[in-house]
Chain A
Amino acid sequence: MSDVDASPSTAIVWALARDVRVALRSKGELGVQLLFYVIVVSLFPLATSPSRELLATLGPGVLWTTALLASLLSLPRLFAADFGDGTLEQMALSPRPLAALVSGKIAAHWLTTGLPVVVMAPLLGAQYALVAPVLGTLTLSLLLGTPILSLLGAVGAALTLGARGGGSLLALLVLPLYAPVLIFGAGAVDAVRAGLSATPHLSLLGAGLLIALVAVPFAVAAAVRIALD
């Protein structure tokens, strides 16, 4: 009998803890990714105008689109280093289920790159003259939406392992798949601004998150195995 605990939950927790630890050892890199979000968001008023009405109109879209770009920018770090030094291959060979291991990695990716964006959003939203209830919805929609971005992005990150063209190829693969998340996320904030309920948008985001949580790890595991061949 093997004494290796091959249950999915231990595999998820192990991969999550490992990736968070690795990420926290290069805090600078994490900080730079968050700064990217802050800087891009701060550029839009310079390109348009500082008028409060215009900024309040643009705000939800800008904050959401930039969250998409920030997620995209952080995707290569999800698998590339582990692919390069052979860790990913060892994970695929281990008796633990690969889908569980990649789930842990994706969760760690979201905790270190998605969650900071969510936490930062109310502050940046205030720059865009968004008021308290709108900021609450913005944060909630990002909280539900950014994990979907990490999950869908992981498919693209795994598929482009070892492919030429790196970042721009990843953008072409992943950004069209992000479109529904953007629509429901930014739509939720727009609905509150228009005096409507954001519940339908948020419910759809939540449903999307649940489906992605269940289905995507298997697609990512398949993509990782293809890359390792």
Chain B
Amino acid sequence: MINWFRLSSPVSFYPIAGAWSYAFAVLAALLAGVGLVVALWIAPTDATQGDAYRIIFIHVPTAWMAMFIYVVMAGWSALALGFNTRLSAMMAQALAPTGALMAALALWTGAFWGRPTWGTYWAWDARMTSTLILLFLYLGVIALRSAIEDPRRADRACAVLAIVGAVNVPIIYFSVQWWNTLHQGSSISLTAAPKMAMTMLAGILIMTAAAWCYAISVVLARVQSIIVERERGAGWLESLIDWRAEGTT
């Protein structure tokens, strides 16, 4: 059996994170390459929306990632509070900026998609509004992190906030949908695309896989930086960096 707890030490995780980060970056580039070919050339032009719909291949994966990363971040936060493991908190810290980026991209691409299809950049649709609030939640976690000097205290404060936020996300989503059904004007109907061509679905799934690999790669690279920042002065790190410096000269 693999001893998973061995990996929870920054010392043993640091080199693994580096290797995995590299592997997932390559994978992300390959998947994005294939996905974009499917998205831009193979997938048929939509009958009603023309080529404008093609932004869906960025929009949907980023929107999914934005929600999913928050859940993963809350999961790592719960581990950090439950087991008091440093690395879990570092993972949660590393996930927040990527999650915020995904939420921002989802909103941005949503606005660009909304302009040609609904005639407006912003429509206070239930999904847009809850993604906006999700972005605020991410920014809150990042801001709280930077406002607390002591990293270990910041770890635990952010963990509590992430968990409280995760409990609230479904409530926020439900309340925004509730509000939206009462207030939605009749001009804009935002029901899902009727029937999606197979190649469109394939493009979305491949691009989602690429977004996954990108997120894993970037988060692991960020965890490495966090380890270097926090463990500066630790013997194992100095020897590792000295060895790297010698390798390059």
Contact = CB atoms under 8 A, between A and B. Distances in A.
Interface of A: 155, 159-160, 162-165, 169, 172-173, 175-177, 179-180, 183-184, 187, 190-191, 204, 208, 215, 219, 222-223, 226-227, 229
A229 to B, nearest CB: 6
B143 to A, nearest CB: 5
B140 interface: yes
B128 interface: no
A162 B154 CA distance: 11
Contacts of A160: 144, 147
Interface of B: 81, 133, 136-137, 139-140, 143-144, 147-150, 152-153, 156-157, 160-161, 163-165, 167-168, 171-172, 174-176, 178-179, 182
Contacts of B167: 215
B164 A177 contact: yes
Contact of A165 (B81, B139, B143, B157): B143
A183 B175 contact: yes
B140 A176 contact: yes
8 contacts: A164-B149, A169-B144, A175-B136, A176-B168, A177-B168, A183-B178, A208-B171, A229-B153
Contact of B182 (A180, A187, A208): A187
B137 to A, nearest CB: 5
> Which of B147, B163, B174 is most buried by chain A, counting CB atoms within 10 A of its CB?
B147
Contacts of A172: 136, 139-140, 143
Given A162-B148, A229-B153, A176 B160 contact: no
Given A172-B140, A176-B137, 19 more contacts: A155-B164, A160-B144, A164-B147, A165-B143, A169-B144, A172-B136, A172-B139, A173-B140, A176-B165, A180-B171, A180-B175, A183-B176, A184-B175, A187-B182, A204-B175, A208-B171, A219-B163, A223-B160, A226-B156
B69 to A, nearest CB: 16
B147 A169 contact: yes
A227 B157 contact: yes
A226 B160 contact: yes
Given A159-B161, A226-B156, A180 B172 contact: yes
B176 A159 contact: no
A211 to B, nearest CB: 9
A223 B153 CA distance: 10
> Which of A159, A191, A219, A227 is most buried by chain B, counting CB atoms within 10 A of its CB?
A159
Nearest to A173: B140
A162 B165 CA distance: 21
Contacts of B137: 176
A227 B176 CA distance: 33
7 closest residue pairs by CB, A with B: A180-B175, A163-B147, A176-B136, A183-B175, A165-B147, A183-B179, A173-B140
Nearest to B163: A219
B47 to A, nearest CB: 36
B107 to A, nearest CB: 14
Given A173-B140, A179-B133, A159 B175 contact: no
Contacts of B160: 155, 159, 219, 222-223, 226
B202 to A, nearest CB: 35
A184 B172 CA distance: 11
Contacts of B163: 219
B178 A179 contact: no
Contacts of B157: 159, 163, 223, 226-227
B87 to A, nearest CB: 19
B185 to A, nearest CB: 15
Contacts of B174: 180
Nearest to B150: A229
Nearest to B135: A176
Contacts of B179: 183, 187
A198 to B, nearest CB: 12
A179 B165 CA distance: 12
A192 B170 CA distance: 26
Nearest to B139: A172
B150 to A, nearest CB: 8
A163 B171 contact: no
Given A155-B160, A226-B156, A226-B160, A180 B147 contact: no
A152 B164 CA distance: 9
A216 to B, nearest CB: 8
